[in-house]
Structures are given as structure tokens and as C-alpha cells.
Chains A and B, each alone.
Chain A
Amino acid sequence: DADVTQTPRNRITKTGKRIMLECSQTKGHDRMYWYRQDPGLGLRLIYYSFDVKDINKGEISDGYSVSRQAQAKFSLSLESAIPNQTALYFCATSDFRQGAYGYTFGSGTRLTVV
């Protein structure tokens, strides 16, 4: 099994619908992140969480919300999806221990809002 699992892998939804993207990890890392990728813009941070009770907005949080249900689970919600939220979404965890500083990414969720 993958260390960071995102579901679904692909999703098409209609404008105005609520949708949840899920992320679970087996790395045991405290920190989790949600990124959005758009062509020509790289990946941009939506939300990040240091632990279950510590959730923070990233640079593009408008229109999104998150839930950290457990150390291993971090979900991203679009309350009312709009077409410009069509993008590739990545979940990631991080490890900052000495010598191990790095990130583990999920395989991504390709979301299309029509």
C-alpha cells in the first residue's frame, strides 16, 4: 500500500456540489498538507495541519475547508464547487527529523468541475 493515499483519483462534479477529497497516511507524520496544481503556476498550498487540533490556512484557502479527523487522515472539502477549482490536488506529509527532512506526496486527485 502507498504511504500516502488519496481518494478518489479522478472526480467530475457539477458546479455547486459539495465534494470531499480524502487523504490517509501510514508514515506516522504529524504534519499534513493540501496543495493544488494548475498549469503554469506550480503547486500552491491550500491548508496545512501540524496535528489534529492545529489547522492553518495556506495561500489559497478561499472556497476550501479541511478536517483532520485523526493523525493519519486529512480531508479537503469544496463546499460549493466552481469551475475554476478544476485542478490536480495533492496531499503530502512531512518529516523534519535530522537527516530525513522531506515530504511524501500522494498520487494526486484530478478534479473537474463542470
Chain B
Amino acid sequence: AQKVTQAQTEISVVEKEDVTLDCVYETRDTTYYLFWYKQPPSGELVFLIRRNSFDEQNEISGRYSWNFQKSTSSFNFTITASQVVDSAVYFCALSVYGSGNTGKLIFGQGTTLQVKP
């Protein structure tokens, strides 16, 4: 069975602080994809990144960076110099690719990030 755990329910930081959101996943499949989504107060889901299981290279996009470590089954997300606009709920998700797969996304519980001015 597959599972995604985001142990941090809520995080509160002051603007300009760096913050890391943790994501731990479980799957026995060798081919899978990991995602991060942002959900601002307006409610829509905003896609941030997709990473496949064969690509462990870390990625940086502006103030955002992602650290994928298969050895620890983790896909952590760091925001550098946080801003008030980063306040949102962040979801980590897993999709398994292979025969018979449903293609469904398995979501973590979400981490609510509050960035205070």
C-alpha cells in the first residue's frame, strides 16, 4: 500500500525566515512520481513540482527548493526567505506508475504554513 505522511500540521514563521516542510512516503513500487501542491486561502490547488523516482537531483526554483532522498523516502520542500504570500496549505502527493495502477494521487494530510509579517 502507498502512503504519504506530512507530520507537521501547522508551521508558523516570521517573514524572511527559511522553512522546510517535510514529506515521507511509502511505496514498494520502483516507478512513481512525487508532487507538491500549494493551496492558498482561495482554495484552488496550485501545482509546484513533479519528480519521478529515477531522478534524485535536487531542484531549485527561485525561493523554492526540493530535496528528494530515496534512501529515507523523503521529499522535503524548503522555502527560503519566506514571504506573507507563502501562507497556504501545502500538500505532498504520490502517484504510482505501472501495470494496473489507477493513476490516483495519494495525498498527505497537508501542512498549514503561516508567515507573519
A31-B103, A43-B105 are known contacts. Are A102 and B50 too (CB-CB below 8 A)?
Answer: yes
A42-B107, A42-B108, A42-B110 are known contacts. Are A105 and B44 too (CB-CB below 8 A)?
Answer: yes
B interface residues, how many (CB within 8 angstroms): 23
Chain B positions 88 through 107: 1 when the CB is less than 8 Å from some CB of chain A, otherwise 0? 00010101010000111101
Other-chain residue from A40, A45, A90, A102 in contact with B104 (beta carbon distance below 8 A): A45
Give B33's nearest chain A residue, CB to CB: A101
Chain A positions 73 through 112: 1 when the CB is less than 8 Å from some CB of chain B, otherwise 0? 0000000000000001010101010000111010110100
How many whole Å from B4's CB to the nearest CB in chain A?
A: 8
B109 and A42 contact, CB distance less than 8 A: yes
- 29 contacting pairs across A/B (C-beta < 8 A): A33-B104, A35-B107, A40-B110, A41-B109, A42-B4, A42-B6, A42-B108, A42-B110, A43-B91, A43-B105, A43-B107, A45-B105, A48-B102, A48-B103, A92-B105, A94-B103, A96-B103, A101-B52, A101-B95, A102-B47, A102-B50, A103-B35, A103-B105, A105-B44, A105-B45, A107-B43, A107-B44, A108-B43, A108-B45
Given contacts A33-B104, A103-B35, 11 further A-B contacts (CB under 8 A): A33-B105, A35-B105, A40-B110, A41-B109, A42-B109, A45-B105, A94-B103, A96-B97, A101-B33, A101-B97, A107-B43
